[in-house]
Amino acid sequence: MTTPAVYLAQDPTLADFGHDPWWISLIKVVAAFVFAVLATLLGVWFERRVVGFMQVRPGPNQVGPFGLLQTLADGLKMAFKEDILPKGADKVVYFFAPTISVICAVTALAVIPFGPMVSMFGHQTPLQVTDVSVAVLVILAASSMGIYGIVLGGWASGSTYPLLGGLRSSAQMISYEVAMGLSIVAVFMTAGTMSTSGIVAAQAGSDRSASLGGFEFFAPGWYAILLLPSFIIYFISAVGETNRAPFDLPEAESELVAGFMTEYSSLKFALFMLAEYVNMVTVSAVATTLFLGGWRAPWPISIWDGANSGWFGLIWFFAKVILLVFVFVWLRGTLPRLRYDQFMRLGWRVLLPINLVWILALAGIRVLQKENSDAVRWGIIGGALLVILLITLAWPDRRKQPPRPLQEQVNARPQGSFPLPPMDLVVPPSPRARRGVAQRQPANVGGGAPDVVDTTSTEEKED
Amino acid sequence: MTGYLGSYATLGLLLVASVLIFVGAFTANRLLSPADPAEPAGKRATYESGVDPVGGDWAQMQIRYYVYAYLYVLFAVEAVFLFPWAVIFDRPGFGATTVVEMAIFVAVLALGILYAWRKKILDWT
Amino acid sequence: MTNIALAATVTTGEAVTFWILAPLALLGAIGMVVARNAVHSALWLVLTMLCLGVFYVVQAGPFIGMVQIIVYTGAIMMLFLFVLMLVGRDASDSLIETLRGQRVAAVLVGLGFAGLVGTLVARAVGDTTAVGLEAANQNGNVQGIAALLFTNYVFAFEATSALLITAAVGAMVLAHIHKPKSERLGQPETMRLRFRPGNYPAPKPGPGVYATSDSVATPGRLPDGTLTQRSVPEILPTRELSPRETAPKGTEK
């Protein structure tokens, strides 16, 4: 972790946390909840407006300016609804499932750095609820506990659709949780720390600028650029982890009604929705923190010295988060839902192996840069070559079998199969085709119609 | 309160606050929701797209989920070993030896996923 | 004694956390044994494990605390939950002992194990001179663990992977049933089964919709003209409109 001295004045370090007076902690905690609710209210509106724009329709535009209050109206409506407890439900677990979801979602939000040190009522305090030396692990723990909310919600409903939805969802989330956890390893390797504020500082520390032919080039130290494969894997697994389209299989409307939420109503349903949107914002915020430089200003703006100080950090942070949330919505508006087997194959056969290989390759590269002795260097290169060779040798060869002739395939069918038409069947032209031709004739040509009938029905006459 | 425990105490405060918020929200819901709702037949029946529920109210899941849960345990443990390794592997005193140690560890676990792959266990049929 | 020496360093925050969470952890453990429903039992265990995770964190082991939550509470308990759901939610334990003398043996073995762990802990604590947290966490908690893990305990670490992989392969072999192609039912077989005598191949008849009624509660007619109740969902006939619902709503004109 190399932090340039320039940044030290604003950069919160781990030592800055845990010294707030209790009332500042309380303000921050309440702010986290307010942010969660606001993110949901605006997130739903944003999503509906953007998807509406992509589908060339207005989206919600009646309640409030630009329909901004639509979600608030819907949310209030939820509170006025009766809470129906299904007959087969397990009362206690049914009650706790949505609260588990929400608590886990908000806990992950608490370790995200929103900005640098600011002055709050005369106290110097970091713009972050709290940071600990294992902050990223707190996020992972929260998301792995969040799975309970969904699997228990599905189970406690005592109904088939929710149970299947909950199981699917949890299998999906555990699969992508693995990919997500491994993609973060590369960040740890480069940053050398697990605290979120430390990772933001480390990214700022790895900015490079070089001058070439009189031009000053600037390469931001964003891990999205340095660790591109990890960023891509993280983002894909984040979409899978939050059950968003195109990976929204647990809520596949056409198959499972609404998945684990089917039996939920009123406030509890609202809580599940809250958790879903907070999760979407949280994974975007984590992606911003780990890969996109956190609250620091992007390059052209960062030339201005004041950009990274004080409350300005919030602007850059939210801009990046909104950009990522927009990508989430964009994906939903563009891609069709995957089939479950395709989805699991992507997680276990593509993301996971690439991740493992990438981590070891990165480790090799970094050690190569540091090692000075030739023996170790050639040892690593030789080892890498050996691994590649072994993989090539062990790769299952999939030679395509030559296609069998048609008659052979027909003969191979079992007794009593559905009868096939004769192989040399000549299909008569469709009556619709004739009509099409007739309509294409110019309307004012007299006597054209018999011609048409003659030419197209010769084959029929022969039969 | 020390700095170390203070950071975690904030997380504890978050949990307490969320409990309070939930108590408030559910109380509000109880007060606002209809006081004497109708109870038509079938209102609390299990939802199955409008037809009568068939069979019991739970379905047995497939054992396939168990295999995936096990693979999750496997890779969660692997990730947990990778985390401390990632933080220290390029510090002085570790270097290539540590990388090789981890490569062996990952390779052994990769054998597992390779086995599952070849046995077609990862095929979700 | 060591206990007194340890107690002297306990801060207020640590003590408060302990006295709140220790009863909760104990409650979880008792609840796990007492609960009738297997899934509830697992959830009680989750509570205990969460409390343990917090204890680790409070005792200046943040990494191991998070690992406890991610691996045990998250992954392993999820595995348990899946297994319990495999059995089905209504499957409660039967109280009939299938193995005779099982309880006595369980109590004896349990006592023996407790004694073993007790002496082990007592000896480990008694012989060790504490170097203090500052020395252990000198370069950070995670770094300290890593430094030990990849130097002194590297063989245990590699052995873990072998153990994990053995268990994983075992689980896969036991749980995975690969049906060869010859055992799969083909389309002709499926159709024959469907149309075998005694099986009603078509879907349930739809409700009758006639000129006089378009209600789904109207029974449909079979080909021979008789009405069939099969077409009417069970919950429907009990529903009747109240006078308020049938009264004109002032919109018809």
Domain boundary among C154, C179, C204: C179
- Asked whether residue C154 is assigned to any structural domain, the reply reads yes
Q: Retrieve residue A135's tokens.
A: 């902050």
What is the predicted pLDDT for the residue at C23? Answer: 92
* Radius of gyration of chain B, Cα coordinates, nearest whole angstrom: 26
- Asked whether residue A365 is assigned to any structural domain, the reply reads no
Contacts of A19 in chain B (CB under 8 A): 3, 6
Query: Measured between alpha carbons, how far is A90 from A449 in angstroms, rounded to an integer?
Result: 73
Q: DSSP 3-state helix, strand, coil percentages of chain C (rounded to 5)? A: 60, 0, 35
Residue numbers of A between 186 and 245 with CB closer than 8 Å to C: 194
- Asked whether residue C247 is assigned to any structural domain, the reply reads no
Query: Measured between alpha carbons, how far is B95 from B88 in angstroms, rounded to an integer?
Result: 9
Looking at the structure of chain C, the number of domains it has is 2
CB atoms C158 and B42 under 8 Å: no
Q: Does C145 touch chain A (CB under 8 A)?
A: no
What is the predicted pLDDT for the residue at C48? Answer: 92
- Asked whether residue A455 is assigned to any structural domain, the reply reads no
CB atoms within 10 A of CB A208: 10
Q: How far is A461 from chain B (nearest CA, A)?
A: 50
Contacts of A158 in chain C (CB under 8 A): 89
Among the partner residues A137, A145, A418, nearest to C73 by beta-carbon distance = A145
- What CATH number is associated with residue C67? 1.20.120.1200
What is the predicted pLDDT for the residue at B64? Answer: 75
Neighbouring-strand partners of residue A215? A212
Q: Is the pLDDT of residue A334 over 80?
A: yes
CB atoms A93 and C40 under 8 Å: yes
Q: Does B17 touch chain C (CB under 8 A)?
A: no
CATH architecture of B3-118: Up-down Bundle (1.20)
Q: How far is B81 from chain C (nearest CA, A)?
A: 9
Q: Which of A396, A100, A374 is nearest to A260 (CA)?
A: A100
Q: How far is B19 from chain C (nearest CA, A)?
A: 15
Q: Residue C55: give the domain boundaries.
A: 9-89
| CB contact at 8 A, A296 and A319 | no
Residue A169: closest C-alpha in chain B: B65
Q: The tokens 């049906």 sit on which residue?
A: C179
Query: Which stretches of chain B drop beneath a pLDDT of 50?
Result: 1
Q: What distance lies between CA C4 and its chain's CA centroid? A: 40
pLDDT digits (tens, 9 = 90+) for B72-101: 888 888 888 888 888 887 777 777 777 778
| CB contact at 8 A, A210 and A219 | yes
Among the partner residues B13, B82, B100, nearest to A26 by beta-carbon distance = B13
What is the predicted pLDDT for the residue at B8? Answer: 81
The mean-pLDDT minimum among A13-17, A102-106, A263-267, A342-346 falls in A13-17
Query: Measured between alpha carbons, how far is A59 from A44 in angstroms, rounded to an integer?
Result: 11
Q: Which of C149, B78, B103, C161 is nearest to A181 (CA)?
A: B78
Q: The tokens 């923190």 sit on which residue?
A: A289
Among the partner residues A32, A88, A353, nearest to B46 by beta-carbon distance = A88
- Asked whether residue C147 is assigned to any structural domain, the reply reads yes
Average pLDDT, chain B: 77
What is the predicted pLDDT for the residue at A4? Answer: 41
pLDDT digits (tens, 9 = 90+) for A4-31: 434 444 567 776 676 677 778 888 888 8
pLDDT digits (tens, 9 = 90+) for C134-192: 777 777 777 788 888 888 888 888 888 888 888 888 877 777 766 666 777 778 888 88
Confidence (pTM):
0.76
Query: Measured between alpha carbons, how far is A128 from A295 in angstroms, rounded to an integer?
Result: 11
- Asked whether residue C251 is assigned to any structural domain, the reply reads no
Q: Which of A100, A270, A121, A130 is nearest to A195 (CA)?
A: A130
Structure confidence at residue A3 as a pLDDT band (50, 70, 90): very low
Looking at the structure of chain A, the number of domains it has is 1
Q: Residue A328: give the domain boundaries.
A: 11-210+218-338
Query: Measured between alpha carbons, how far is A75 from A45 in angstroms, rounded to an integer?
Result: 12
Q: What is the 3-state secondary structure (H, E, C) of B35-104?
A: CCCCCCCCCCCCCCCCCCCCCCCCCCCCCHHHHHHHHHHHHHHHHHHHHHHHHHCCCCCCCHHHHHHHHH
Q: Retrieve residue A117's tokens.
A: 């040190």
- Asked whether residue C222 is assigned to any structural domain, the reply reads no
Q: Retrieve residue C204's tokens.
A: 């349930």
In terms of Cβ atoms closer than 10 Å to its own Cβ (0-12, 13-18, 19+), residue C245 is exposed
Q: How far is C79 from chain B (nearest CA, A)?
A: 5
CB atoms A155 and C39 under 8 Å: yes
Query: Measured between alpha carbons, how far is A196 from A13 in angstroms, rounded to an integer?
Result: 10
CB atoms B81 and C157 under 8 Å: yes
Among the partner residues A174, A185, A257, nearest to B86 by beta-carbon distance = A185
Query: Measured between alpha carbons, how far is B62 from A196 in angstroms, rounded to an integer?
Result: 39
Q: How far is A40 from chain C (nearest CA, A)?
A: 26
Neighbouring-strand partners of residue A118? A125
Among the partner residues A137, A148, A414, nearest to C186 by beta-carbon distance = A414
CB atoms B101 and C57 under 8 Å: no
Q: Is the pLDDT of residue A2 over 70?
A: no
| CB contact at 8 A, C235 and B45 | yes
CB atoms B87 and C171 under 8 Å: no
Query: Which stretches of chain C drop beneath a pLDDT of 70?
Result: 1-10, 87-97, 130, 133, 177-181, 198, 205, 207-214, 223, 234-241, 245-246, 248-253
What is the predicted pLDDT for the residue at C117? Answer: 93
CB atoms A371 and B79 under 8 Å: no
What is the predicted pLDDT for the residue at A460? Answer: 45
Query: Measured between alpha carbons, how far is A346 from A236 in angstroms, rounded to an integer?
Result: 10
Domain boundary among C49, C66, C89: C89
Helix axes A228-241, A160-191, angle to 10 degrees: 160
- Maximum Cα–Cα distance for chain A, whole Å? 99
Same domain, C20 and C83: yes
Residue numbers of C between 137 and 166 with CB closer than 8 Å to B: 140, 142-143, 145-147, 149-150, 154, 157-158, 160-162, 164-165
Q: Retrieve residue A124's tokens.
A: 């110097």
The length of chain C is: 253
Among the partner residues C39, C70, C188, nearest to A141 by beta-carbon distance = C70
Q: Retrieve residue A418's tokens.
A: 């559905």
Q: Is the pLDDT of residue A67 over 70?
A: yes
